[in-house]
Amino acid sequence: MEAPESTQAEAPVAERKQLLEVSSLRASYGHRQVLFDLSLNVGVGEIVAVFGHNGAGKTTMLNSIFGLVKPMGGTVRCDGDDITGATCARTVRKGMAYIAADNFIFGELSVLDNLKLGAHLESSRGLVRERLQGVYELFPILEERGSQVSSTLSGGQQRMLSMGMALMSGPRLLLVDEPSLGLSPALVDQVMEAIGRLARDESLSVLLVEQNVVRTLPVVDRAYFVRSGRVILEESAEELRQRESYWELF
């Protein structure tokens, strides 16, 4: 499969309106501090990756942004509004959707019922149908398997379903935790291509965390590297592609 198409042909990063702004974020689990003054931003229609090894704080960062973990300090702004420590319900209303690395579908329900649950806050049936059609265009296999029990799908199909559920809420900002986890290289490319299409065609902003640099770089605009809860590098995807190795950044 060809590498996913980059979104960098769109408006230059510096000219994009900032949708998400995270400044000096600090967070902990119990008595152990995990994030140390972490700052990053995501523009409208921009795909930003956060790379780092296991335990670097990537998932804690997403949880703190989305409202699953209450930060110790710092600020999180979405579209200019301070949502630091906001509930998940409020972040969803602000237009965020979160795709976790695991436990991301309701396995006992059908594919279609999962997708409908993703739009449970939307009262317009017409808009729900429109979003459902959009998901089917992105992932035709989900329409084919609409009546199938979700737990019987393959790992790649479940990942597509989780993305479909998130898109059914009509988000402006998609937070994605390890989209390549457990997938074959071909499926990783397919998922990354879908993310690229959403940013390019729908102006969807995406913040994703990953360890797979090679498979992720073709579709992102910028990337941060995180080590031990701190940002150690921010570069454009084009700059990162010039590097011969990424090991020293982990």
DSSP 45: T
Task: Tell me if 97 sits within 8 A of 166, measured CB to CB.
Answer: yes
Distance CA 240, CA 156 (A): 27
E strand or H helix that includes residue 121:
none
Confidence (pTM): 0.88
Residue 243 phi, psi dihedral angles, 5° rounding: -75, 145
| Ordered per-residue pLDDT tens for the chain, 250 residues | 444 444 444 455 556 789 999 999 999 988 899 999 999 999 999 999 999 998 899 999 999 999 999 999 999 999 999 999 999 999 999 999 999 988 679 999 999 999 999 998 888 999 999 999 999 998 999 999 999 999 999 888 998 899 999 999 999 999 999 988 878 888 888 888 888 988 888 889 999 999 889 889 999 999 999 999 999 999 999 999 898 888 778 8
Report domain extents, the chain: 1-95+172-250, 103-170
User: Hey, what CATH topology would domain 1-95+172-250 get?
Assistant: Rossmann fold (3.40.50)
Task: Tell me if 54 sits within 8 A of 2, measured CB to CB.
Answer: no
Contact residues for 2 (Cβ-Cβ < 8 A; gap 6+): none
Q: Is 241 left (phi over 0), alpha (psi -120 to 50) or beta?
A: alpha
Distance CA 247, CA 61 (A): 22
Residue 115 phi, psi dihedral angles, 5° rounding: -65, -40
Task: Tell me if 208 sits within 8 A of 195, measured CB to CB.
Answer: yes
E strand or H helix that includes residue 159:
helix 155-167
**Residues in a beta bridge with 32:** 29
